[in-house]
Amino acid sequence: MGLLKKFFVQTKKPEGFLGKLMVSGMNGGHAKLADWGMSHLDRITANNIVELGCGGGRNAAELLKRFPRAKLTATDYSEVSVEKAKETNKVLMAAGRCTVLQGNVSELPFEDASFDLATAFETVYFWPGLARCFAEVCRVLKPGGTFMICNESDGTDETSLRFEKIIDGMKCYTAEQLTAALQSAGFTEVRTDRHPDKPWITVLARK
């Protein structure tokens, strides 16, 4: 495997030195996409948030800026990501507003109906089976809670589809595929929005 491919594979589960480089780049590289996604949360009220696949932790911090009375739990199954997210959010953690945990989205370590809002930025591509993972997200959300997915790929753009061939286990989903999986998992209302100029999508699902 070439060095470039080894680096791109780190998007799935950052590990070691290359993983640390990848996670450091995620915080800045995905910022515009994430901020566009968060702009869809203006009408959402949330006191308890879970950030799934938190990467380097930048989005956790931004969510807490948008919801100044909320507490947030950030999770990732990469040890490298968890350590970076803790470093990024050490002030918020010290203030008791942020917790960072290592965990798998297919078996979330939370009680039923724990959160008002769940978010997933640039991560569902790698989730081990949408049906099971989305059902877990639905389980930990309170009735009326919202699950937001924000992806750089709408499942049809050529660049992302090329990455599918490079990164084992990566799958770029269309908005229609995500909607169907969310409805099957128990979400009752699903709304999608495509960026006017880029292949970005944001999906909002309500329990």
Mind listing the pLDDT tens digit of every residue in the chain (207 residues)? 444 444 444 444 544 544 444 555 566 667 999 999 999 999 999 999 999 999 999 999 999 999 999 999 999 988 888 999 999 999 999 999 999 999 999 999 999 999 999 999 999 999 999 999 999 999 999 999 999 999 999 999 888 788 777 777 889 999 999 999 999 999 999 999 999 999 999 999 999
Which sequence spans correspond to the domains of the chain?
30-206
- The alpha carbon of residue 74 and the mean position of all alpha carbons in its chain are separated, in whole angstroms, by 10
Structure tokens at 94: 């010290």
- The CATH number of 30-206 is 3.40.50.150
- The alpha carbon of residue 92 and the mean position of all alpha carbons in its chain are separated, in whole angstroms, by 19
* pLDDT tens profile 105-136: 999 999 999 999 999 999 999 999 999 999 99
